[in-house]
Amino acid sequence: MLNLLDRLEEWLIAFLIAGATLIIFVAVVHRYAAGLPIPGLQDWLVSINLSWAQELCIYMFIWMAKFGAAYGVRTGIHVGVDVLINRLPDNLRRKYVLFGLFSGALFTVIVGSLGANYVWAIGHTDQVSADLEVPLWIVYLCIPLGSFLMCFRFLQVAWVFFRTGELPHHDHGKVEGIEDVTDEDIVPYGLSDNLHPADAKVGGRP
C-alpha cells in the first residue's frame, strides 16, 4: 500500500511538472507565432484563446509544490541545519530529531485542518477562477491534501527513525538512474571497436 502511495505521489508530481512545462511552451509559441504577419495562419492563431494557460500553470505549480513538499520529507531532500544536533550525544540527538519530526507533523496537520475548513466554506459558494472558471474549492483542495500527506510523511519518517535510528538522506550529487562508475569499471582496451581490441595488453605487458 505504501509503495502504491509512493508511486502515485511521484507520478502526480511528474505529471504536473511536465504538463505545466508543455502548456507554457505551447502558450509562448502561440503568442509569438500569432504576431507574425502571415495571412490565414495569423487569423487562425488569434482565434485560439489561450488566456487560461497562465492561470492553469500557476495552479499546477502550486499543486506540485504541495505534493513535492511531502515527497521531500519522505526522501530527505529538504535542507536542514543539523550541525549542533549531530554533535549531541546519541540519546539526546534522538529526542531532538523526534521532537522536530513531531513538530513538523503538528504544524502540517494544523495547516491541513485550516485548509480543509476553508475548502469546505468556499465549496458552498459560487466562486470560480478568473480564466478557467473552475470552482475555487478544487483549486484550494491542494492545501488539505498536500498538508495531510506531508503530516503522514513526517510521522512515517519518525516511526522509521524510532525503530532504526536512520533518517532519509538524499545525495544531491547523485542523479537517479545513473549508476556510480568507478575506475575499476572503466576498461579502455575492452571496447567493441577495432581501435580497442578486447585482448590487447596495457603497455605491451602480458
Contact 144, 119 (CB under 8 A): yes
Q: What mean pLDDT is reported for the chain?
A: 87
Q: Which residues 6+ apart lie within 8 Å of 183 measured at CB?
A: none
Q: Give whole-number Cα distances, 146 to 45, 97, 116, 185, in Å.
A: 37, 23, 11, 42
Q: Is the pLDDT at 119 greater than 80, yes or no?
A: yes
**Distance between CA atoms of 154 and 21, rounded to whole angstroms?**
30
Question: Does the model's pTM come out above 0.85?
Answer: no
Q: What is the DSSP string of 65-114?
A: HHHHHHHHHHHT-S----HHHHTS-HHHHHHHHHHHHHHHHHHHHHHHHH
Contact 136, 129 (CB under 8 A): yes
The single-letter code of the amino acid at 99 is F
**134: phi > 0 → left, psi -120 to 50 → alpha, else beta; which?**
beta
pLDDT digits (tens, 9 = 90+) for 56-70: 999 999 999 999 999
HSE toward the beta carbon, residue 93, CA cutoff 13 A: 13
Contact 24, 53 (CB under 8 A): yes
- Among the ranges given (4-8, 170-174, 184-188), the one the predictor scored with the smallest mean pLDDT: 184-188
